[in-house]
Amino acid sequence: MKGKKTLSKTSKNNFITMGGLLLVYVIVLILKEGGITTNLINGQLVPICAYMIMAISLNLTVGILGELSLGHAGFMSVGAFGGVLVGTLMQEVSDSKILCLLVAVIAGGVLAALAGFLIGIPVLRLRGDYLAIVTLAFGQIIKSIVNILYVGLDADGLHVGFIEKPEILEEGKMIINGAMGATGIRKLSTFTFAFIVLMLCLIVIYNLIQSRTGRAIMALRDNRIAAESVGINVTKYKLLVFAISAAMAGMAGTVFAYNYSTVAPTKFDFNTSILVLVFVVLGGLGSMRGSLIAAALLTLLPELLREFSDYRMLVYAIVLILVMLGTNNPKIRDFFAKIVGKIKSVFVRKKTAKEENANG
């Protein structure tokens, strides 16, 4: 076996994550086709994929680049509405569902990347909480603008209006209708499609992190001044990360929007940005696997807590706080680690006992 490169530990880990994800996908697909999973789970598959993309893309900004962003939902919004707009136009010329969706997702990604580039510019001057507030402001600006954006389509073509709703012909329709958002979207997103987009994003991120570029980005995070002094171009890499991260969020937005018949601008507000940030921090900064798991669990959690009826969101809040304490407090962590150790030692003892029995 000479000449074959052995995989580094990180690559191995990455492959495990991707393999695990693929395995979960196959199992869920089989269960779904077999009619075993409930409607609730089936209905959540696409949004979970979309939130997973959101989580890993934000992790790229927060975990790898090390800049806090509080406006990630803004990019999702750009992707959702941009994607729906382009997708609806595409439907006029093509009947192929998958083609429409594909074009929409790409358009959503490109538009969001442009927005990410735009927001990336102030990033060069600001740091820490001041940068965070700018991203928050940016998210709010996007929300307000989409709120007053009207795009109508009729036989005469596209009509765009701000604040004032444009006049459209009787048989025409509004694609983006101000505060109502986009309604009457055809449900084109499927679990498989969403999964493929997710997998592609994951592969891109892993490759980016492991590349020369990725190492430069992490150097910036760990020590900006040192990185700058060895000639790493801060501007270039920060803008790059912001644009890539935004593009992925945009794609997630399109996938998400095409799973529902309506999407409103208020959906992508500060709370959604925060929710995605919670996924990232809970999953562990820089850990894509953690982000994926946290996104899936925390999206499912409120639904599975419905048993508590009125106390549902209260329980959710408590779980969130406890998990944060459990994963970040050394004392509590040691306490759990001890229990794990004990359980493990019991298992190990059993195992050895079994082996002895087998031998004897």
Partner 1 sequence: MEFLSNVINGISLGSIYAIIALGYTMVYGIAKMLNFAHGDVIMVGAYVCFFMTSRYNMPAVVGILLSMFVCTVLGIVIERLAYKPLRQATSLAVLITAIGMSYFLQNGAQLLWTSNPKVFKSVVGDGGVQLTEGLYVSHVTLVTIAVCVIIMIALTVFTGKSKMGKAMRACSEDKGAAQLMGINVNTTISITFAIGSALAAIAGVLLCSAYPNLVPTTGSMPGIKAFTAAVFGGIGSIPGALIGGILLGIIEIFAKAYISTEISDAIVFAVLIVVLLVKPTGLLGKKISEKV
Partner 2 sequence: MKKMKKLVCFGLISAMMLSAFAGCGKKSGSDVIRIGGTGPLTGGAAVYGNAAKRGAEIAVEEINALGGMQFELRYEDDTHDAEKAVNAYNILKDWEVQISLGSVTTNPCIATAAETYADRIFALTPSASSTDVTKGKDNMFQMCFSDPNQGSASAQYISEKALGTKIAIIYKNDDAYSTGIFETFTDKADELGINVVSTTTFNTDSQNDFSVQLSDAKNAGADLVFLPMYYEAAALILDQAKKMNYAPKFFGVDGMDGILTLEGFDTTLAEGVMLLTPFSADATDEKTVNFVKKYNEKYNETPNQFAADAYDCVYAIYEACQKGEVTSDMTAEEICDIMIAQFTTMKFDGLTGNGMTWGKNGEVSKSPKGMVIQNGVYVGLD
Q: Which residues bind partner 1 (CB under 8 A)?
A: 62, 68, 122, 125-127, 129-130, 133-134, 136-138, 140-141, 143-145, 147-148, 163, 225-226, 270, 274, 277-278, 281-282, 285, 310-311, 313-314, 316-318, 320-321, 324-325, 327-332
Query: Is 328 exposed, middle or buried, given 0-12, 13-18 or 19+ CB atoms closer than 10 A?
Result: exposed
Please choose, from the candidates 357, 159, 189, 355, the residue with its C-alpha nearest in 3D space to the C-alpha of residue 261: 189
**Residue 39 binds to partner 2 (criterion: CB under 8 A):** yes
Residue 357 interacting entry, from partner 2, partner 1, none, C-beta within 5 to 8 Å by type: none
**Residue 108 binds to partner 2 (criterion: CB under 8 A):** no
Residue 266 interacting entry, from partner 1, partner 2, none, C-beta within 5 to 8 Å by type: partner 2
Return all residues near 247 (Cβ < 8 A) that are at least 6 apart. 109, 110, 112, 113, 116
Return all residues near 21 (Cβ < 8 A) that are at least 6 apart. 198, 199, 202, 292
**Residue 160 binds to partner 2 (criterion: CB under 8 A):** no
Kindly tell me which of 3 and 330 has the beta carbon lying closer to partner 2. 330
**Residue 152 binds to partner 2 (criterion: CB under 8 A):** no
**Residue 210 binds to partner 2 (criterion: CB under 8 A):** no
**Residue 264 binds to partner 2 (criterion: CB under 8 A):** yes
Q: Report DSSP letters for 165-219, one per residue.
A: PPP--TT-EEEEEGGG-EES------HHHHHHHHHHHHHHHHHHHHSHHHHHHHH
Q: Which of 23, 31, 36, 340 binds partner 2 (CB under 8 A)?
A: 340
Q: Which of 22, 31, 179, 274 binds partner 2 (CB under 8 A)?
A: 179
Query: Is 337 exposed, middle or buried, given 0-12, 13-18 or 19+ CB atoms closer than 10 A?
Result: exposed
**Residue 190 binds to partner 2 (criterion: CB under 8 A):** no
